[in-house]
């Protein structure tokens, strides 16, 4: 309701401004040209000045008023770096914004038409142009270089010394849900193929690949604190976007083009509840791409827990193989190789 009123108020102001300028033009045409023209110029110049004053005040007010709704300090290692980038980007652009707006509206006010003043002819100034081209260019290069460094870090491989403890998950988006497949105890996601997809095998896992036999798809996302998490992202239908706002993780899910992202959570859900003094706080996964009418439905809860809690949770999970594929295999074991496979699978399943 408030936003509708706001839009109506803005529309009204635009109509009033239009009518004022139209009235000025009509007075001009009526013959009293000089006097009406000067009045019109004065009105326009004053409007520029008031727009500047109210506009800047509104911007400063809204920045402070809405700051309690900003996200808390990031809960991931790389999130701190991204937060630092936001800070330096704002430091670079906010002063420029204020300077350019003051010059833009201020000049329109200060240099309104005045018969007693002659225009100054100012064709070019190489020194000035060099300064206002070079400074933004240097600032842009610094910001882009900082951004690229962060980007290469979060999309690149996990450092050697952390490879051992990585948790690999695969996020598959579809209208309107996320399915998260965990690599299981072997820390390796099994291969998939479209031809394998069926009601009993919704992700098309290739059961011939041993790495598939401990993969599981839970209903909630549990992740251990302080361990690197590699997320492999894909989509079954349209564009979606894997968004964990508190961890500053955001990556598009593109059909046919797998993307990936890795991050290290640094605060458990319980710690975050204490920090925010909110016992009901839950981390969430959202879809950040407007992907259809039930887009909102893609919300999923994320729990960051200690390593022990995570291992206990892992043990409770049932592999997809044990639920869908294993009974069929048991029915027609006839070769030595298949017998061996079955023994291995049973070991993996019991390990879970
Ligand atoms: Cu979506």
- 249: domain CATH number is 2.60.40.420
One domain, residues 188 and 136:
no
Tokens representing 271?
């710690």
3-state SS, residue 33: helix
CA of 275 to the centre of ligand 1 (A): 30
Same domain, 259 and 200: yes
Residues 25 and 66 in one domain: yes
CA of 284 to the centre of ligand 1 (A): 14
Residue 49, C-beta contacts closer than 8 angstroms, at least 6 positions apart: 105, 106, 109
Provide the b/e sequence for 27-43 (b: ≥16 CB within 10 Å). bbeeeeeeebbeebeeb
State how many domains the chain has: 2
Give CA–CA dist 266/150, Å, rounded.
Answer: 17
- The alpha carbon of 241 and the centre of ligand 1 are apart by a number of angstroms equal to 6
- Whether residue 13 sits in one domain with residue 103: yes
Instruction: Tell me if 120 is assigned to some domain.
Output: no
Alpha carbon distance 243, 245 (integer Å): 6
Compute the distance from residue 80 Cα to the ligand 1 centre, in Å.
26
Give the closest residue to 270 by CA, choosing from 306, 237, 312: 306
The pTM of this model reads 0.72
User: Do 149 and 218 have their domain in common?
Assistant: no
**pLDDT truncated to tens, each residue of the chain (352 aa)?**
667 777 887 888 888 777 877 776 776 666 555 666 678 888 899 999 999 999 999 999 999 999 988 898 999 988 999 999 999 999 999 999 999 999 999 999 988 888 788 888 888 889 999 998 999 999 999 999 999 998 998 888 888 888 788 888 999 999 989 999 888 778 778 888 787 787 777 777 777 777 777 788 888 899 999 999 999 999 988 999 999 999 998 999 999 898 889 999 999 999 999 999 889 999 999 999 999 888 998 999 999 999 899 988 888 878 777 777 665 544 444 444 444 544 454 444 444 4
Same domain, residue pair 82 and 187 = no
Q: How far is the CA of 204 from the centre of ligand 1 (A)?
A: 21
CA of 28 to the centre of ligand 1 (A): 56
User: Do 211 and 65 lie in a common domain?
Assistant: no
Distance 201 CA to ligand 1 centre (A): 22
186 and 310, same structural domain? yes
221-224: strand order across its sheet: 221-224, 300-305, 283-287, 240-244, 249-253
Q: How far is the CA of 293 from the centre of ligand 1 (A)?
A: 10
Flag whether 183 is in a domain. Answer: yes
Same domain, 347 and 202: yes
How far, in Å, is the centroid of ligand 1 from the Cα of 318? Answer: 27
Q: What is the DSSP string of 248-283?
A: TEEEEEBBTB-EEEEE-B-S-HHHHHHHHT-TT--E
**Are 135 and 189 within one domain?**
no
Is residue 119 in some structural domain? no
Q: Quote the ligand 1 centre to 261 CA distance (angstroms).
A: 17
Q: What's the CA-to-centroid distance between 225 and ligand 1, angstroms?
A: 26
> Quick check: is 1 in a domain?
no
Range(s) of the domain holding residue 313: 164-351
Q: Do both 198 and 225 map to the same domain? A: yes
| Other CB atoms within 10 A of residue 105 CB | 20
* Cβ-contact 325, 202 below 8 angstroms: no
């Amino acid at each position: 309701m408030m936003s509708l009123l706001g839009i109506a108020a803005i529309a009204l102001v635009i109509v009033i401004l239009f009518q004022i300028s139209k009235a000025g033009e009509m007075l001009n045409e009526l013959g009293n040209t000089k006097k009406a023209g000067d009045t019109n110029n004065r009105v326009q110049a004053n409007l520029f000045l008031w727009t500047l004053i109210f506009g800047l005040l509104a911007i400063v007010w809204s920045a402070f008023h809405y700051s309690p709704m900003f996200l808390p300090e990031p809960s991931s290692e790389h999130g701190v770096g991204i937060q630092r980038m936001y800070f330096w980007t704002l430091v670079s652009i906010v002063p420029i914004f204020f300077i350019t707006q003051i010059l833009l509206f201020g000049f329109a006010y200060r240099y309104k038409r005045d018969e007693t003043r002659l225009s100054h002819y100012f064709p070019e100034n190489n020194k000035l142009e060099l300064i206002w081209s070079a400074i933004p260019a240097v600032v842009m290069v610094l910001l882009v270089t900082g951004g690229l460094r962060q980007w290469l870090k979060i999309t690149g491989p996990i450092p050697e010394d952390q490879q051992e403890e990585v948790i690999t998950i695969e996020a598959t988006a579809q209208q309107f849900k996320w399915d998260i497949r965990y690599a299981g105890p072997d820390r390796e996601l099994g291969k998939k193929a479209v031809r394998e997809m069926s009601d009993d095998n919704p992700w098309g896992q290739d059961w011939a690949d041993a790495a598939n036999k401990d993969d599981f798809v839970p209903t909630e996302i549990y992740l251990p604190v302080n361990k690197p998490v590699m997320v492999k992202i894909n989509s079954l239908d349209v564009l979606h976007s894997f968004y964990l706002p508190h961890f500053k993780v955001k990556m598009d899910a593109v059909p046919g083009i797998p993307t990936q992202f890795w991050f290290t959570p640094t605060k458990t859900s319980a710690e975050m509840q204490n920090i925010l003094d909110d016992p009901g706080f839950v981390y969430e996964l959202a879809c950040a791409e407007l992907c259809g009418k039930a887009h909102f439905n893609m919300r999923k809860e994320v729990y960051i827990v200690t390593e022990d809690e995570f291992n206990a949770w892992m043990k409770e999970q049932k592999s997809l193989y044990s639920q869908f594929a294993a009974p069929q295999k048991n029915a027609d074991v006839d070769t030595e190789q298949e017998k061996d496979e079955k023994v291995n699978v049973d070991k993996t399943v019991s390990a879970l």
